[in-house]
A and B are shown apart, each in its own frame.
Chain A
Amino acid sequence: MDALRYIIKRLLLMFPILFGITVLTFFISNTIPGDPARLAAGPHADAKVIEELRETMGLNKPLYVQYGTYMNNLVHGDFGFSNFSHQPVIEDIKAYFPATLELTLFSMFITILIGIPFGVISANKKDKIADQFTRVMSLMGVAMPAFWLGILLLLFFYLQLGILPGSGRLDTGLSPPVTITGMYTLDALLSGNWTVFQSAIIHLILPAITQAAVTIGMITRMTRSSMLEVLKSDYVRTAYAKGGTDTRVLYGHALRNGMMPILTLLGMTFGHSLGGSVLVESVFSWPGLGKYAVNAITYLDFPAVMAVTMLIAILFITVNLIIDILYQVIDPRLNYD
C-alpha cells in the first residue's frame, strides 16, 4: 500500500514539471528567429500566401494567447498539427517513437548483458589482464564517436562482408508486421511472422551495438568502481567465510549491494537514448524520434518540437520513477516516503 501511495504521489508531481516544460519550450521556440509560416509555405510562395498561412496557424495572435490555445488543446489530448508531415503530431510520434524505443531496448539489453559482467570481472581481477582488457575496451567504447563507430561497422559488416544490412528496419520487399506496439520485432513475434522477426532482428544488430558501445563503456567502469567499494566490506568476507564461491559472492552478495550507482547510470542513459540518438539514427537511416526531432527543429515545426520535448520529459520522469522504485526493491532499508 505504501508503494502504491508513493507511486501516485510521484506521478502527481509530474504535472508541475510538465507544466514548467511547456512554458519553457513554448516561449523559447517561439522567440527564436525564423518564420514558421515562411518555411511551411515553401521557398516560392508569395507574401499573400504566407500571410494567410500565418493567420490559419494562429501566428499573428499575441504569444500568451497562442500558449493558451496550445495548452487548451493539449489538455484535451491534442498535440497539434504538423505543417510538414501534414498530419497530427501524435500520428508522427506513433510512427517514429516505437522505432527508437525498440533500438533503445536492444542497446540497453546489450549494455546490461556485457557491461555489468565486464565490470564485475574487472573489479574481481583488479589490475590483472582481464581488468586491463575491459579498461581498454570501455575506454574505446566511450572515446569513439558513435557516428564514426557506426560508419566503421557499416563498412566492415555491410560493405566488406555483406552479412548484415546497412539501413532501415526491414529488408526491402518485406512489409511491416501488423502494428500492435510499433516495435517490429515484438509485433512480428506476436503475430507469429517469423521472416519479418528475423529481418527486424538483424537490422537491429549494428545500430544497437553502435548505440551500446558508449553505454557499455560507462556501465563497465561504474560497475567496476562500485564493486571495488563493495568487495572491501565485511559481509563479503562473511560470505567467503561461509564457504561461498567467487561467483556466488560476486553476483549473489556484492553486485546487489553495488547496484545503486549502476542503476542510476542505467536510468540516465536509458532516458537519454529514448530521446533518440540522432547520430546513430542518421548513420543507419533508422526512422526514429531523434531524426524526427531534428527535422522538426530545422523547419520550426513548433507543435512537433513541443510534442517531442514533452514526450522525452515524460519518459525521463517515468524512467526515474522506475529506478527509484527499483532502489527500494533492492534495498529493504529504504522506505517509501
Chain B
Amino acid sequence: MLLQVKNVALSLKREGKYTKILDDVSFQVEKGETVGIVGESGCGKSLTALSIMRLLPEKAKLEGSILLDDENVTEFSKRRLEKVRGNQMSMIFQDPLTSLNPLHTVGRQIEEALILHTDSNKAERKRRVIQLLKEVGLPRAEDLVNEYPHQLSGGMRQRIMIAIAMACHPKLLICDEPTTALDVTVQAQILDLMNHLKQINDMGIIMITHDLGVVAEVCDKVIVMYAGKVVEQANVKELFLNPKHPYTKGLLESIPKLGKRKEKLGSISGMVPSPDQMPSGCRFYDRCSKKMDICKQEIPPVQEVGEDHITACWLFKKEVEEDDTSRSKGFETTLHH
C-alpha cells in the first residue's frame, strides 16, 4: 500500500480557539492508482492534501496517521519532511501562475528540486531539466529553460508545475484542482499528460477536484467529502452508476447531460455548515432530501454498501447491523483521539 490515511482529524486555530476542519478521514491509495477527492469548496479536500504534504499552517493540530510506504508522515521531523517533499511525494496546485515564482526562470525552478534531492552536477541537472520539459510535452525545451512564467500560457505553466513535481520521480503525486484555472481545451491535454506520466512512473495520484467530469476521465476510485468528512467512497464506475449517499446523488444530478431534456438542472439547496457550528448528527442533515430523525441526533456510521463501496448514511442502517465490526472500529479510533 502506497498511502494509508487513517482517521485523520485536523483542527485549525481560528480566533483563538481550535475548530475541527477534518474529521475521521480515511482512505488509501495504491501504486498506479488515481484517487479522486470531490466535494464542494470548503469541504476539506485541499486541506486533506496539505495534511498529507504536511504543508499546514503552524498552528494546525493534526491527528490520526498518514502512512506513506508504512512510515507515518505525521511523525516526521522537519528535516525528514524536507527530504520527502518534492522527492517521494509532490504536489501540483490550482493556479500555475501564482504557484510559480515570477522572478526565477522556469529552468531554475525545475532544477531546484534536483538540487534539493539529488547529487547531480550542473550539466546533469541541465540535461534532466530539458528531458523533463520534453516529457511534459513542451516544445523548444532548450529555450524555455531561460524563460519566465509570465512569458508562458496557462497550459504551459501547469506543465512546468508538473515537470517540477515529476523531477525526482515521486511515488505519490497530489493534484489540487490542476485544471480548474485552465481553458477547457487545455484541461483535457493536462489530464492526458498526467495519465501518461502515471503509467510510465507507476505512481499513485490523488486528484482533488470539484469537477466530476475530471473524475470520470482519470480516476479509478472516488472519495466524496462533505464538511470535513468522507461521506462515500467507491470505484469510479460504481459511484457514477450506483451512488448511495444523498449528497453524492445530488452532486451527480447537478451535472448537465447531453441528449437528456430536463426542465432544470439538479441542485442541492442550502449551504455547507461552518466548521464551528457543525450539527451533532449528520452534517448533511439540513440539506438532505431523505432526512430521518436519527440523522439529526447521531453521526451516521461508515458502512459497506457494495464491493469496495462505503458510505456514511443512516439510510443503509440494515446493512450496518450485519456488518457492525467496521463501524465500531472506526468509532473507537476516533474516540481515542
Q: Which of A's residues lie within 8 Å of B, judged by CB?
A: 233-235, 237-245, 248, 253, 256-257, 330-333
Contacts and interface: CB of A to CB of B under 8 A. Distances in A.
Interface residues of B, number: 28
A241 B101 contact: no
Contact of A333 (B85, B102, B164): B102
B224 interface: no
A244 B101 contact: no
Interface in B49-96: 53, 55, 81-87, 90-91, 93, 95
Given A241-B55, A241-B91, A332-B103, A235 B85 contact: no
Given A237-B93, A333-B150, A242 B99 contact: no
Contacts of A257: 101-103
A302 to B, nearest CB: 48
Nearest to B98: A234
A256 B81 CA distance: 25
Contact of B112 (A237, A242, A256, A330): A242
A240 B53 CA distance: 10
A145 to B, nearest CB: 38
A238 to B, nearest CB: 5
A242 B85 contact: yes
Contacts of A243: 81-87, 113, 116-117
B316 interface: no
Given A243-B82, A243-B83, A234 B99 contact: yes
A94 B169 CA distance: 63
A238 B148 contact: no
A331 B103 contact: yes
Interface of B: 53, 55, 81-87, 90-91, 93, 95, 98-104, 112-113, 116-117, 148, 150, 161, 164
Nearest to B91: A241
A244 B93 contact: no
5 contacts: A238-B101, A241-B90, A248-B116, A331-B102, A332-B102
A14 to B, nearest CB: 29
Contacts of B103: 256-257, 330-332
Contact of B100 (A238, A244, A245, A248): A238
B82 A244 contact: yes
Contacts of A233: 98
A245 B164 CA distance: 16
The CB with the most chain A CB atoms within 10 A, among B99, B113, B117, is that of B99
Given A244-B82, A257-B101, A257-B103, A237 B55 contact: yes
A236 to B, nearest CB: 8
A330 B113 CA distance: 22
Contacts of B98: 233-235
B53 A241 contact: yes
A240 B99 contact: no
B4 to A, nearest CB: 21
Nearest to B151: A332
B246 to A, nearest CB: 35
A330 B101 CA distance: 12
A186 B309 CA distance: 78
A256 B84 CA distance: 26
Nearest to B168: A243
Nearest to A253: B101
